[in-house]
């Protein structure tokens, strides 16, 4: 089924459980990536994603605009991830890619670190030093493709604050990339 989310939501609400199964398959991996970034723990993230889909199935009738299903679902995941993180009383996380393979960037082409351009390697190392909230924001914008308005709805922050944070993060990343020590000092 290559149907838009809106049709799948409508189909599920009409009683076709297969439609929700398609939505689960479509969003399970992106939600797992988001909740892993938030919680810093793969097992906790998996629990969060299960809770997200249960909550979504139970409250889908309350979704007034089925065309906004994707950002609605990510908002639930964002909140569940934060809730589970707070329950475990963890502090902010800074993980490198090598410490957690679930945090690897998504790429349609396999990467080889031996022949990787130096700038890409430096960028990967710099991104690995970002704190959880900054990394979640960049993932939502540049990996998951959400607009600043969508991220605002997901996170509960004002859209202008989201735009400003993204602008600052991009500026800081560029400065770190251009610095002689590679921004890893």
The domain in which residue 62 lies consists of 1-91
pLDDT at 35: 92
Does pLDDT of 154 surpass 60? yes
Q: Is 175 part of any domain?
A: yes
Q: Is 96 part of any domain?
A: no
Single out the residue of 97, 96, 49, 100 nearest to residue 76, CA to CA: 49
**Domain CATH number, residue 8:** 1.10.1740.10
**Domain CATH number, residue 178:** 1.10.10.10
Q: Is 10 part of any domain?
A: yes
Q: Is 38 part of any domain?
A: yes
Summarised one tens digit per residue, pLDDT across range 166-179 is: 899 888 887 887 77
Say if residue 81 is in the same domain as residue 6.
yes
Q: Is 31 part of any domain?
A: yes
pLDDT band at 105 (very low <50, low <70, confident <90, very high): very low
pLDDT band at 88 (very low <50, low <70, confident <90, very high): low
Query: Which of 61, 91, 121 finishes a domain?
Result: 91
pLDDT at 121: 73
Count of the separate structural domains present in the chain: 2
Single out the residue of 40, 155, 139 nearest to residue 92, CA to CA: 40
Q: Is 50 part of any domain?
A: yes
Distance (Å) of CA 145 to CA 7, 57, 149, 150, 176: 21, 24, 11, 9, 24
Token pair in block for residue 62: 């309350």
pLDDT at 21: 92
Q: Is 108 part of any domain?
A: no
Say if residue 184 is in the same domain as residue 118.
yes
Say if residue 151 is in the same domain as residue 74.
no
Distance CA 46, CA 137 (A): 20
Summarised one tens digit per residue, pLDDT across range 13-63 is: 999 989 999 999 999 999 999 999 888 888 889 989 999 999 998 889 999
Does pLDDT of 101 surpass 70? no
Q: Is 107 part of any domain?
A: no
Say if residue 82 is in the same domain as residue 121.
no
Predicted TM-score (pTM) of the model is 0.67
């Amino acid at each position: 089924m290559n149907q838009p989310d809106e049709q799948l939501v409508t189909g599920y609400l009409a009683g076709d459980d297969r439609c929700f199964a398609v939505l689960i398959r479509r969003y399970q991996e992106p939600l797992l990536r988001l909740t892993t970034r938030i919680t810093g723990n793969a097992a906790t993230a998996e629990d969060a994603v299960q809770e997200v889909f249960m909550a979504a199935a139970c409250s889908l009738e309350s979704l007034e605009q089925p065309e906004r299903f994707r950002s609605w679902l990510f908002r639930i995941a964002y909140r569940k991830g934060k809730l589970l993180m707070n329950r475990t009383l963890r502090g902010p996380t800074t993980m490198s890619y090598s410490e957690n393979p679930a945090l690897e960037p998504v790429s349609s082409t396999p990467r080889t670190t031996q022949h990787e351009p130096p700038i890409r390697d430096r960028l990967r190392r710099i991104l690995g030093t970002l704190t959880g909230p900054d990394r979640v924001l960049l993932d939502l914008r540049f990996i998951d493709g959400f607009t600043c308005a969508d991220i605002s709805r997901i996170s509960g922050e004002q859209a202008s604050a989201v735009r400003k944070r993204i602008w600052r993060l991009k500026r800081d990343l560029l400065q770190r990339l251009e610095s002689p020590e590679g921004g890893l000092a």
